[in-house]
Chains A and B, each alone.
Chain A
Amino acid sequence: ARLASRGSGLLLTSHFTKSRVVAMSGQSSGCGFLMSVVVHGDSALNEQEKELNQRLRRLYPAVNENETPLPRSWSPKDKFSYIGLSQNNLRVHYKGHGKTPKDAASVRATHPIPAACGVYYFEVKIISKGRDGYMGIGLSAQGVNMNRLPGWDKHSYGYHGDDGHSFCSSGTGQPYGPTFTTGDVIGCCVNLINNTCFYTKNGHSLGKKLQNQRQILYMLNLLIYLDTPGEVVDANFGQHPFVYDIEDYMREWRTKIQAQIDRFPIGEREGEWQSMIQKMVASYLVHHSYCATAEAFAKSTDQAVHEELASIKNRQKIQKLVLSGRMGEAIETTQQLYPNLLERNPDLLFMLKVRQFIEMVNGTDSEVRCLGGRSPKSQDSYPGSPRPFSSPSHKASSSQSYLTGTGSDTSWFDSNCCNGVTSNKNHSSSPHSHKPCPPGSGSTLPVSDISLNGSRSQQPITSNDMDMEVDHFTNGVTESSSNGFLNGSSKHTTEPDDCDADMEVESAQSKRQLCGGSQAAIERMIHFGRELQSMSEHLRRECGKNSANKKMLKDAFSLLAYSDPWNSPVGYQLDAIQREPVCSTLNSAILETHNLPKQPPLAQAVGQAAQCLAIMARTGSGSCAFASVDDYLH
């Protein structure tokens, strides 16, 4: 059996590689009959694997499997020699003599139970009770003798089928539950919140085991033992639905933990809690330069703003430029407003430049755009703009372009994503959100679209600058429901007047071209790339190797290796969402020069909470399973 399973394992691996190649080349001819047979067996297995993964993710969403993998089968290594495994290491059979207690044999699961499960559950089905039915399931620490029955040794727990007794670190059992035999499904549930465990039989809980609660912390490995010939047992780690309704049990504990959090006593003195929250909101608004909102909020809650309004507006201007992809201008403005900042931060400057390069490829950077890469019509649609670059197509990443700049009314239909709030929202729901972000992105949180709206749009429009601002803000709020930042494919409810422009941009989007399609722009981009290359070399000489920088540059240049960079494996860099980490890093750097916190307290609190949960998971506090930070960020 062992050989066979190994063989099939090999087969599997080879097939995986094959299918991947097929996928890459996009064409597969001559796979033929044989191949399809393999595919069939494989897909059945994949199906099971998929179901298992789905169920485990649903049951234990808080578990980080990179750090603490979940048990998925019995371990072929961690077992006594009398134990045989088959059926993907899920079926256990006894192959010893079963004459004396020395013939007992156990097997452990591949991994210990992660504490972040909160509540862990698995089941076994007794396929055959063999000669005498001496079987048991339970828990043990790593390294406990596998030639013994579970429960007999220190750090091991067990429930035995022949007498229904439970054993806990001792050779004499205590009456616990009924006996079990062929056909019965026995489950074991570990509650890592109150450190108890209980067993189930055919879907019925047999009751808590309370002894040595603390010990349970250290014995987190599942265990099964068999003692007489003919005993066969199948395990279910989530491959199939469980007979016992463990999800219902988990629901109860989730409710308990959440009630505990909800009822947690906050600040004894009246109003303290509220004013703290107000401070956090205000600082968040200031940090992200929502200056008018911040001002209004501070006014209505009677707080002082710790940064000058002008300074906030400056940061806001820069951020807006970054988020709209106008990197060249952003860098220029930063250098004007905060001289020396970038000189002192060469890595930051490099990062900005790399982003500028990417925006050039995208056709959004001002240097490229002024070379005429974009539809002239949309230029016309922005009359009276005093800006030298006078092209609105910096919003290339949006699905619609605005029609007029006449007032804040029309801006409601602008689905530009240039605003932190909007993109944050999108960030959480975007299909790209799983992509690794460079460090510093952690501070972008989908926290507060909190009614930034009302007060904002009432701002008097004093300048064109302001006009833009209103655009972005109002739009940010509208956006939150429409999720349309990516490209022309998204559909919005728009006013009829909008249709034309909408259509046009969409069609332009559908044939996206390098640097907006202009030859001059491409040349400029290539030239810029060379500058970037030499800057990188210069940096390396000055400051030593920096693998992050190296990778950044390499990834950016890789865009040019594809005829359609947007649909290439490195195309994610072109997403507007990737502007956010850059924007936030730049923002933090500016704030630091003003001796202001580089992260808003709100983001910090959220980050700390998340970190706290991670530490709880590592130290074995199971309640972290039911206290996801996301549940509290609406």
Chain B
Amino acid sequence: MKSLTLACGLLWGHRESSITATSRHYVDRLFDPDPQKVLQGVIDMKNAVIGNNKQKANLIVLGAVPRLLYLLQQSSSSLELRTECAVVLGSLAMGTENNIKSLVDCHIIPALLQGLLCPDLIFIEACLRCLRTVFISPVTPVQLLYTDSTVIPHLMSLLSRSQRTQEYITQIFSHCCKTPEHQTVLFNHGAIQNIAPLLISPSYKVRMQALKCFSVLAYENTQVSMTLVNVLVDGELLSQVFVRMMQRDQPIEMQLTAAKCLTYMCRAGAIRTDDSCIVLKTLPCLVRMCSKEHLLEERVEGAETLAYLMEPDVELQRIASTTDHLVSMLADYFKYPSSVSAITDIKRLDHDLKHAHELRQAAFKLYASLGSNDEDIRKKITETENMMDRIVSGLSESSIKVRLAAVRCLHSLSRSVQQLRTSFHDHAVWKPLMKLLQNAPDEVLVMASSTLCNLLLEFSPSKEPILESGVIELLCSLTQSDSPALRVNGIWALMNMAFQADQKVKVEIVRCLGTEQLFRLLSDPDTNVLMKTLGLLRNLLSTRPHIDQIMSSHGKQIMQAVTLILEAEHSIEVKEQTLCILANIADGNTAKELIMTNDDMLQKIKYYMGHSNVKLQLAATFCISNLIWNEEDGSQERQDKLREMGFVDILHKLTQASDPNLSDRAKTAMQQYLA
């Protein structure tokens, strides 16, 4: 094999070598003045290039393509010649990706699209066949189909011409529908009405390509999905047609694609998750696709689609978890390349290796989806053979896709208190997770930091070692990220970390984050970030010595921030959280004075005690209650000052409040005065 390539390479060096010479001869004949000879030349060329990639490359290099395109477009050319040109171009496109690139560079697409306007069916079919081959190649820019707005409607009108046009056009559509905009263009030009009848075409290829079209059209598209459920094909609902295509005697490709269509329609909200066509047909079909007897590609696609189908629905997750031993079936996804394949044949090993990553990431995704809600399922997953080890090694795999899926899986499992306490700690998952966080794309970072949040919950035994590994700095840097999701996760993790933490940790957080950053976060446009930052502040300001210490060093800024938030337009939740911080401050020994000396702040508290929202009233009352608490130094003075400001009257009124919590709180506060 190697020597052969070498030989060809040498031949390339000689311009007058025999291969190039014959190729040149083919090209020369295209320029013959006699049209009959040109036709014969094209036909000979057609026969010469079939299955011969080298010949194809030669002809392209020698400039056959522009000439063929010229002949194809020339209205003076005979129809036969034009058709043969399209056939040869189609043949050239069947070669390597480089061939396709050259063809696209020669503007083959507009030329062929122009050719579709010719009334002759044979010619149209040849053009479509070539277009199909060009468009299904990953190197062709999909957008080229949409540049001329008359193309799509014309293609729709050609759908009725023949089975071949149907096959080629639907195949083009299914490969060129990549974005919501594409979906909308196709939808607006009647793709659904035009393609639906093809689902019962006598030709398997047409049925299959039409089905693929629907799967790409319906993906994450509510408008298409909602339309699809009401479409009738020969008096039968489309969903029933899809169900029939999922029957177990149908080819696997068809079963799988039909299941995808129904999955997408379901996720887009067009079919309920408890519909029998989902529960009893689609889900079992997808579970079946995961079984060992199918091709690796099919198993990957099946698992990914199933993960997507049941992601939001715990009932589907429960059913899937008991269907056909899915959880243990997925464990097989990690056994590639198997030791057997390595020995028996190289081809198989190569094939296995190629798919090993895909298989692993699909399995992780499916595990993540399965375990996202139900504690029993998570337990079942972690008890699967070597599961935690696999996740741990998945976290450090070279393929980003696998890393991402592994961390998603870990994240899903980390929602379990029990797993956090046991298997997560036993396998020290925090280590690879921390490593993953050092340098990873945002996608991975979001998931990893989110998982870290759970690992930093106070009951998690991993919290301590993570703290010691210098996580604070890492998290603080996350809060400076451009991505809101990362900022939330960073601050959230810090919040969890600060919960009931010792002084040292809190000081470290404040030091590392810096007040400036803290205040920047308090004015973050993302409410989630703001809420978690307030939560962090609240956690930092707990237990009296901590409150006093932090307020003594950062009191001024904190009070300023609190004032700003209370004055700005914010949701009730934000204000409540802020008042709670204030209440914490009021609990400090020395920190109290920061409020007592701030009349403006006291007026604000008073305002919130009379607010229409009970939660805010409660938080404000709590704050006052802390300020007037007996048995503390200077309580008498504070009580007096607040009485003067009219707080007693308000408290008195609140003891009559209809909310029992609020009236209780007010009563307790009043008692401080009576004592």
Give B329-345 interface residues, CB cut-off 8 Å to A: 329
B284 at the interface (CB under 8 A from A): yes
B324 surroundings in chain A (CB, below 8 A): 205-208
B323 at the interface (CB under 8 A from A): yes
Q: Known: A203-B280, A204-B284. Is A248-B323 also a contact (CB below 8 A)?
A: no
Q: Is the CB of B280 within 8 A of A245?
A: yes
With both beta carbons as reference points, the residue of chain A lying nearest to B276 in the complex is identified as A203
Stretch at the interface among A249-257, A270-278, A434-442: A249-257
State how many angstroms separate the Cβ of B90 from the closest Cβ of chain A: 32
B76 at the interface (CB under 8 A from A): no
Choose among B248, B284, B322, B329 the residue that contacts A177 (Cβ–Cβ < 8 A).
B322
- Bitwise, A193-217 to B at CB < 8 A (1) or not (0) is 0000000010111111000000000
Q: Is the CB of A249 within 8 A of B325?
A: no
With both beta carbons as reference points, the residue of chain B lying nearest to A178 in the complex is identified as B322
A249 to B246, CA, bound (A): 12
B280 surroundings in chain A (CB, below 8 A): 203-204, 245
Task: Bin the interface of chain B by size.
Answer: 10 to 19
Q: Known: A205-B284, A206-B324. Is A251-B319 also a contact (CB below 8 A)?
A: no
Q: Is the CB of A252 within 8 A of B322?
A: no
B249 surroundings in chain A (CB, below 8 A): 251-252, 254-255
Choose among A206, A251, A254 the residue that contacts B322 (Cβ–Cβ < 8 A).
A206
- Bitwise, B279-314 to A at CB < 8 A (1) or not (0) is 111001000000000000000000000000000000
- Bitwise, A243-265 to B at CB < 8 A (1) or not (0) is 00100110110110000000000
B481 at the interface (CB under 8 A from A): no
With both beta carbons as reference points, the residue of chain B lying nearest to A245 in the complex is identified as B280
- Bitwise, A53-91 to B at CB < 8 A (1) or not (0) is 000000000000000000000000000000000000000
A208 to B284, CA, bound (A): 14
State how many angstroms separate the Cβ of A198 from the closest Cβ of chain B: 8
B323 surroundings in chain A (CB, below 8 A): 204-207
B247 at the interface (CB under 8 A from A): yes
Q: Is the CB of A251 within 8 A of B284?
A: no
A252 to B294, CA, bound (A): 13
State how many angstroms separate the Cβ of B448 from the closest Cβ of chain A: 33
State how many angstroms separate the Cβ of B668 from the closest Cβ of chain A: 49
State how many angstroms separate the Cβ of B385 from the closest Cβ of chain A: 13
A251 to B249, CA, bound (A): 5
Q: Is the CB of B322 within 8 A of A249?
A: no
With both beta carbons as reference points, the residue of chain B lying nearest to A176 in the complex is identified as B325
With both beta carbons as reference points, the residue of chain A lying nearest to B283 in the complex is identified as A204
Choose among A204, A208, A249 the residue that contacts B248 (Cβ–Cβ < 8 A).
A249
A248 surroundings in chain B (CB, below 8 A): 247-248
A251 surroundings in chain B (CB, below 8 A): 247-249
Give B231-249 interface residues, CB cut-off 8 Å to A: 247-249
A178 to B248, CA, bound (A): 25
A177 surroundings in chain B (CB, below 8 A): 322
State how many angstroms separate the Cβ of B223 from the closest Cβ of chain A: 32
A207 to B319, CA, bound (A): 12
Give A220-261 interface residues, CB cut-off 8 Å to B: 245, 248-249, 251-252, 254-255
State how many angstroms separate the Cβ of A200 from the closest Cβ of chain B: 9
A201 surroundings in chain B (CB, below 8 A): 322
A205 surroundings in chain B (CB, below 8 A): 284, 323-324
B325 surroundings in chain A (CB, below 8 A): 206-208
State how many angstroms separate the Cβ of A251 from the closest Cβ of chain B: 4
A178 surroundings in chain B (CB, below 8 A): 322
A249 surroundings in chain B (CB, below 8 A): 248
State how many angstroms separate the Cβ of A599 from the closest Cβ of chain B: 35
A252 to B281, CA, bound (A): 14
A207 surroundings in chain B (CB, below 8 A): 323-325, 329
A203 to B274, CA, bound (A): 13
A203 surroundings in chain B (CB, below 8 A): 279-280
A254 surroundings in chain B (CB, below 8 A): 249
A245 surroundings in chain B (CB, below 8 A): 280-281
- Bitwise, B255-284 to A at CB < 8 A (1) or not (0) is 000000000000000000000000111001
Q: Is the CB of B247 within 8 A of A204?
A: no
With both beta carbons as reference points, the residue of chain B lying nearest to A254 in the complex is identified as B249
With both beta carbons as reference points, the residue of chain A lying nearest to B324 in the complex is identified as A207
State how many angstroms separate the Cβ of A578 from the closest Cβ of chain B: 40
State how many angstroms separate the Cβ of B497 from the closest Cβ of chain A: 39
State how many angstroms separate the Cβ of A193 from the closest Cβ of chain B: 14
- Bitwise, B189-224 to A at CB < 8 A (1) or not (0) is 000000000000000000000000000000000000
Rank and list the top 5 A-B pairs by shortest CB-CB distance, nearest first: A252-B248, A207-B325, A251-B249, A255-B249, A207-B324
A interface list, Cβ under 8 A from B = 177-178, 201, 203-208, 245, 248-249, 251-252, 254-255
- Inter-chain pairs besides A205-B324, A206-B322, A245-B281, 6 sampled, C-beta below 8 Å: A204-B284, A206-B324, A207-B324, A207-B329, A208-B324, A254-B249
A-B contacts, 24 listed (Cβ < 8 Å): A177-B322, A178-B322, A201-B322, A203-B279, A204-B280, A204-B284, A204-B322, A205-B324, A206-B324, A206-B325, A207-B323, A207-B324, A207-B325, A208-B324, A245-B281, A248-B247, A248-B248, A251-B247, A251-B248, A251-B249, A252-B248, A252-B249, A254-B249, A255-B249
